């Protein structure tokens, strides 16, 4: 079974600063996908960024970028120029490749609560 | 495109009653997934359905829980004889193809059993 670990239950950052959220995972698969989801107080699950394991280049989406270290099984999220609207729970998630058995189920970590302060 | 629609947003049931949670996937999406989120936890996979078929229900409790995705209408997650431990947020997601590209989630239904 794949496990996803987020070791930081809570984090805080000042507006306009940069923050990095950690995520490690355990798998014997070679091809898979990694995701970061944001869950604001509205409870909506919003896809922030997606990484395909066979791609060495780190994914970026505007102010959000990842540091994907496949050998270390690490997938951290960096938020630059933090904004008040970034306050939310952030979940790291793993999915096997769609050709694999159960290559459709997301395995989530327990989340990191991020607070952006003025 | 209205996104993934879940209703009701909040549902209160007394112990022993039935709960029915509805999910309308995004237009053009034929793959539906249900997840449960317990307090202070991440989401846990429950079931994967395609139109009229249950593909994988390995994450569903064996008793009292069932899911369907009929040819017409929304997907339904049904919990019979609810107990306090069923209190959670239940999320539905949909995708145009199986897995891979990440899903679009609905806003969830928060079930409270009193």
Nearest by Cα to B70 from B56, B55, B53, B58: B53
Q: Searching chain B, which residue's CA lies closest to the CA of residue A43?
A: B107
CA dihedral A19, A3, B31, A86 (to 10 degrees): -10
pLDDT digits (tens, 9 = 90+) for B4-49: 999 999 999 999 999 999 999 999 899 999 999 998 888 999 999 9
> For position B94, what pLDDT does the model report?
93
- Smallest CA–CA separation between A9 and chain B, in Å? 10
pLDDT digits (tens, 9 = 90+) for A77-111: 999 999 999 999 999 999 988 777 787 899 999 99
pLDDT in tens, chain A (118 residues): 679 999 999 999 999 999 999 999 999 999 999 999 999 998 889 999 999 999 889 999 999 999 999 999 999 999 999 999 999 999 999 998 877 778 789 999 999 999 999 9
Find tokens 């079930």 and name the residue.
Answer: B111
Find tokens 């549902």 and name the residue.
Answer: B11
Is the Cβ of B99 closer than 8 Å to some Cβ of chain A? yes
Report percent pLDDT > 70 for chain B: 98
Report percent pLDDT > 90 for chain B: 78
> For position B46, what pLDDT does the model report?
97
Residues in chain B closer than 8 A to A107 (CB atoms): 45
Helices and strands, counts by H and E, chain B: 0, 11
CB B53 within 8 A of CB B71: no
> For position B31, what pLDDT does the model report?
93
- Paired with B12 in beta bridges are B112
> For position B42, what pLDDT does the model report?
85
Residue B2 has pLDDT above 90, yes or no: no
Per the prediction, chain A carries an average pLDDT of 94
pLDDT band at B98 (very low <50, low <70, confident <90, very high): confident
> For position B1, what pLDDT does the model report?
55
Q: Searching chain B, which residue's CA lies closest to the CA of residue A95?
A: B100
Sequence-distant (≥ 6) Cβ neighbours of residue A87 within 8 angstroms: A40, A114, A115, A116
**CB atoms inside a 10 Å sphere around CB A96:** 22
Contacts 24+ apart (CB under 8 A), A46-53: A46/B105, A47/B102, A47/B103, A47/B104, A48/A77, A48/A90, A49/A77, A50/B101, A50/B102, A51/A75, A53/A29
> For position B100, what pLDDT does the model report?
66
Shortest CB distance from B108 goes to which of A4, A43, A104? A43
- Joined tokens for residue A105: 């189920």
- Smallest CA–CA separation between A3 and chain B, in Å? 12
- Strand, coil or helix: B86: helix
CB B67 within 8 A of CB B77: yes
Edge to edge, the sheet with strand B65-68 lists: B5-7, B19-24, B75-79, B65-68
Strands A19-21 and A74-79: antiparallel
């Amino acid at each position: 079974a794949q496990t996803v670990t987020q070791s930081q239950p809570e984090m805080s950052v000042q507006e306009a600063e940069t923050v990095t959220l950690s995520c490690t995972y355990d798998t014997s698969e070679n091809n898979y996908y990694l995701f970061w989801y944001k869950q604001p107080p509205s409870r909506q699950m919003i896809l922030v960024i997606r990484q395909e394991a066979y791609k060495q280049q780190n994914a970026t989406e505007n102010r959000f970028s990842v540091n994907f270290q496949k050998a270390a099984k690490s997938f951290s999220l960096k938020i630059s120029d933090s904004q008040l609207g970034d306050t939310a729970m952030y979940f790291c998630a793993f999915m096997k490749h769609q050709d694999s058995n159960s290559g459709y189920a997301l395995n989530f970590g327990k989340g990191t609560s991020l607070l952006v302060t003025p | 495109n209205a996104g993934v629609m879940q209703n009701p947003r909040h549902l209160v049931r007394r112990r022993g009653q039935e709960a029915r949670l509805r999910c309308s996937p995004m237009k053009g999406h034929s793959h539906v997934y249900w997840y449960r989120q317990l307090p202070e936890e991440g989401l846990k996979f429950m079931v994967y359905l395609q139109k009229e078929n249950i593909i994988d229900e390995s994450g569903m409790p064996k008793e009292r829980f069932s899911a369907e995705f009929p040819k017409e209408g929304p997907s339904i997650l049904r919990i019979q004889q609810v107990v306090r431990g069923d209190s959670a947020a239940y999320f539905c997601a949909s995708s145009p193809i199986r897995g891979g590209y990440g899903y679009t989630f609905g806003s969830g239904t928060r079930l409270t059993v009193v």
